[in-house]
Structure formats: C-alpha cells, structure tokens
Structure 1
C-alpha cells in the first residue's frame, strides 16, 4: 500500500513541483508567471499530439523516453519517500538506485546520438561527462551514510536518521549532504550546471538531447524529467531531513508521511528556484571542476564516517 501511495503522490506532484519552481522564479523576477499547473496543461496538450521521429533514427530513439520514465518510476515506487516500511524496501538498495538513474541517463544519451544531429551528439557527450562525475559521488555519499547503519539499503539509512537525529549533525553526514546537493543539481539539470529554460546552442545539455522529440514522446521525456527532479530532491530530503516519514503502514501514518514529504520537497524546490535567480550558468569547462569538488566532499565524508565514528 505504501509503495502505491508514494508512487501516486510522486506522479501527481512532479509536474506541480516544476510549476512551483517556475512560479517562484517568475515572482522573484517581477513576472506574473503561468501558475503551478502549467506543466500539467503542457503535458496534456503534448500527449494528444502524434510523435514524429527524425529520418534515419532507430528503435533506440523511440524506446529512450519509455526507458527514462520506467527507471524513474521504479525508483519512485521502491525508495523510502512516504514510508520506510514497504514490501519493496529490499529492492531500494543504493547500488540499484544509482544503476537505474544511470540507465535512464544512458538511454537518453543514446537517443541523442541516434538522431545523427550535431546538437544531439553534443548534448549526449556533455550528459555522459556529467554522469561520469556525478554517479560516483552519489555512491560515496551513500557509503558515508551507510557506514553507521551497516547496510546500503536506503530505508535502513533513513530509518536510522529518523531514530537518531544526532547522527545527522556528524561531519560525515554534513559533508555527504553538500556532496549530494551538488550532484542533485547536476543530475536534475538545474543552474549553475544546466539551464532548463533556455535553448542556447553553446550551453544546453539536457535540451540538446531532446530537441528532436515531439508529441507523446516529448511529453514522456518532460514528465520523466520532472519525476526525476522530484525523486532526486525527495532522496536528498529524506536522507538528511527524515523527520515526518511514516514508520508503519497504518493509513493515517502513511497519509501523514506523504503530506510531510510533499511539504518538504516543495520547500526545498522553492529554495532551489529562488537561489537560481541569483546564479549564472557556469562555463562548460567549469562544470567538471564543480563536480570534482563534490566528489572530494564525498571522499571526505567516507573518511570521516570511519575515522570519526
């Protein structure tokens, strides 16, 4: 029941989260904004349109949106978002989650290459570069948190943080929080790593890979991207601010955990959007330096978890 509930919550919340972040930016920039429901209206419009594939593309281009959406939906179902008790908790392993994230990234990168366009290849190469630096950092941050638990199971890590709040103020946890925050921004394609609201040829990463998509395929890509952002923010929130998550499958506990999760993700998303107003996109060759810094924080977090335990 908890897996179904949090999957429904994430599916409904994801486009609204994107709309909330856009609305926050609009208000801070002195614009009216389109409202937090605009992404859902855009998806409804796109799902009604016929997809068109570019000449010369193969099944890889057609299958990539489904793979990206499916991998993210699996994470949304098994990871501890609304509750730490679920029949699927055993699947919510750190290695499995990172592998699913990377599978979606690779599928979209291959689709960008499959189009044979200059923009698609450029975006794919940049995306793989970011992933090659970001994915190891996720593992390192997870290792730092799992050292005190003795398990890489995400539910066990979140439950330990919920029952032992003092562990969340340890040097290892704080270093891991910084490292994972940078990686979440990079994986979600947010400023200063990428700008989701522009199509400038020399700066785009994610948008370069999806320029050839249209109709239902584009809707699936946009939905999967919004869900991926929600999943990444949700993982960060529950790993480092786990309070309020349900620890039983009682209906009231599950509903309370889901409500608290929605509030926490909305607050973090709004803070991230507000911070983006004061940020400029980094030059492309500076992005690896930023991610290398997050990797260093991950190494320090792992070291601290063993030497300062």
Structure 2
C-alpha cells in the first residue's frame, strides 16, 4: 500500500459508485436516440435509485437470510473490486487483492449470491433465472480467468496493476495476437456477465426470456435499489478492466495532481466510449435463443485458450 494506491482507491470508489448510474443513463439515451425515441435523460437511473432507496424493503414470506443479505454481498464485492482494480492508477490500495484470481472470485461471489437469492424465493421464475445464470457463469468465469491469464503469462505476474504497467512499457503488445484474441473473448464475457444483448435483454419484461431480471423479481424498495446500483457498478468495473488491460494510456503512474486528473479523465472517457459502443451495437442485435448462448460462450472460451497458447509460444526465446 502506498500513497498512489490509496488516493487512486478513493478516486475509483467515488467514480464507480457515483458515476455508474450516469453510465447506464448514457447507454439508455444512446439506444433511445438510435431507435428514434427521445429518451428519459442520462440522470434517470439516479432518480430511479433515489426513489427506490427511500422505499421500504419488502421480504417475501418464507425466505431466509440468504435473500436479505444477497444485495449487500453484491454491493460489497463490487465496491472492493472498484477500489483495488487499476482504473485510475496502476498502484492498488490493497495490492494482494488486485490479483486476477481474487478479482474474478469477488465478481463471481456477487453473482452466486444473487442466484442463491433467486432460489431462496421458491418461485418458478426465480429458480429459472438462477439456473440460467449458473449455466452462463459456468462458462463465463473460466473464460474471464483464462483471457486475462493470457496477458499475465508474458508479465510473469497475475497482478492486474503489473499487467497494465507492462502494457504501458511495451505498447506494441496491444496489437499482438494474444491481446486481440483475449480482447474479443473478454468482450463476450462482459456482454454475458452484465446481461446485455444478445445474451440477455436488460429492458425486457417478458419472464420467459429473463435471466438477470428473473432473479430479482421479488426484490422491492431499498433492496431492489441496491441490486440495480450494484449492477451498474459491475458494468462500469468490467468496462474499466477492458479499457485498461488493453488500452491503458492515461492511467496515473505518479501521485501528482496532473497525473491523477489525467487518470480520472482517461477512465471516464474510455468507459463512456465503450458503453456507447456497447449500447449502439445492441440496437442491431436480437436476443439469442437460450440454447444458443452456450455456443457463443464456448466460442469465447476457445478464443481465450488460443490466446494463452499464443502467449506461451510468443514468450519462448528465439
């Protein structure tokens, strides 16, 4: 832990927690404009959260503590990732947690907690959504691990900050076969993990096609607000990882005001740009049938394996 890591952790916490609803608002607004609608404005997600957080939480009869603590677990794990990952600075507030395996485990823990909450309700739709989510996560998490591990092979460390620093020192790696394969695999992972088209439709209200929404149908009030807030933060965190693992320029490497300001600006610009591209792409995509989703995720896992294979071959001395 050093000054750069502590300051960066505070800045990242503020940016992800306060800025993630605005990112969702920007993405919804872009999609609305491309579909010929006016849209509700980029501040609408914040207004929705404010309304939900003021309401009383209602717990369905027969649910256990699993249902009650799942939103807190989802928020807590996401906040830890937001603090330790290299978003604004290359140094981490808690360097041991800024490891590939620790970060992926934290993200998976939040997903599993929400799936268990869906099962805990005992409803048909909750169980259906949880089973679908587990099918997706069984393919997504290995892909996430392997694709980032492909980048760590040439660095000799699974620390995310070390991977970003290595790319800064050798920019040519960005266009290497390893990075390109890993980037495509990671894009598919982000689409699946955050419930975007074509894997899931975040704006659907048809229960038979829901994945994420089916698990949270029984939540209301503050609990629903926390779940929605955590989902926005997870989207921001995933886009931040994608941006800085492959295009890390602008990230702060020193604890000077100018470097930190540049790091904040670079993070915001890159995440918003990726969010705009993601939402614009959704306009031209249709949701895949559920039985076709594993094929897409299996293809991304194959790409991540190819990235690891290429990284070992390219790392061999000539």
Please indicate, yes or no, whether the TM-score normalized by the shorter chain is above 0.5. Answer: yes
- The one-character-per-residue Cα deviations of 1:66-91 (angstroms, maximum 9, x if unpaired) are 00000000000000000002332332
TM-score normalised per structure 1: 0.99
**Which of 256, 272, 277 matches 1:271?**
277
- The one-character-per-residue Cα deviations of 1:158-209 (angstroms, maximum 9, x if unpaired) are 1111121101111111100000110011000000000000121221100000
- The one-character-per-residue Cα deviations of 1:256-277 (angstroms, maximum 9, x if unpaired) are 1011100100000001100000
Partner of 2:11: 5
The size of the alignment, in residue pairs, is 309
8 Å Cα contact 2:92/2:98 also seen in 1: no
- How far the C-alpha of 1:300 sits from its partner, in A, is 0.2
TM-score normalised per structure 2: 0.96
8 Å Cα contact 1:138/1:180 also seen in 2: yes
Partner of 2:172: 166
Q: Which runs of 5+ in 1 are unaligned?
A: none
**Which of 64, 72, 76 matches 2:82?**
76
Are 1:48 and 2:50 counterparts?
A: no
Query: Structure 1: how far apart are the matches of 2:263 and 2:40?
Result: 30
Partner of 2:226: 220
Are 1:293 and 2:293 counterparts?
A: no
8 Å Cα contact 1:192/1:282 also seen in 2: yes
Partner of 1:249: 255
**Which of 135, 145, 153 matches 1:139?**
145
8 Å Cα contact 2:85/2:92 also seen in 1: no
Partner of 2:200: 194
Query: Structure 2: how far apart are the matches of 1:8 and 1:89?
Result: 19
8 Å Cα contact 1:80/1:89 also seen in 2: no
8 Å Cα contact 1:2/1:82 also seen in 2: yes
Partner of 1:233: 239
Query: Structure 1: how far apart are the matches of 2:80 and 2:294?
Result: 29
Query: Structure 2: how far apart are the matches of 1:133 and 1:92?
Result: 23
Partner of 1:306: 312
Query: Structure 2: how far apart are the matches of 1:141 and 1:217?
Result: 33
8 Å Cα contact 2:58/2:220 also seen in 1: yes
Query: Structure 2: how far apart are the matches of 1:86 and 1:203?
Result: 39
Query: Structure 2: how far apart are the matches of 1:70 and 1:102?
Result: 12
Query: Structure 2: how far apart are the matches of 1:86 and 1:93?
Result: 10
Query: Structure 2: how far apart are the matches of 1:75 and 1:296?
Result: 26
Query: Structure 2: how far apart are the matches of 1:142 and 1:301?
Result: 9
8 Å Cα contact 1:195/1:281 also seen in 2: yes
4+ runs deviating over 2 angstroms = none
Tell me the SS of whatever aligns to 1:18.
helix
8 Å Cα contact 1:184/1:232 also seen in 2: yes
Query: Structure 1: how far apart are the matches of 2:271 and 2:70?
Result: 27
- How far the C-alpha of 1:252 sits from its partner, in A, is 2.1
Q: Cα RMSD over matched residues?
A: 0.7
Q: Which runs of 5+ in 2 are unaligned?
A: 1-6
Tell me the SS of whatever aligns to 1:91.
coil
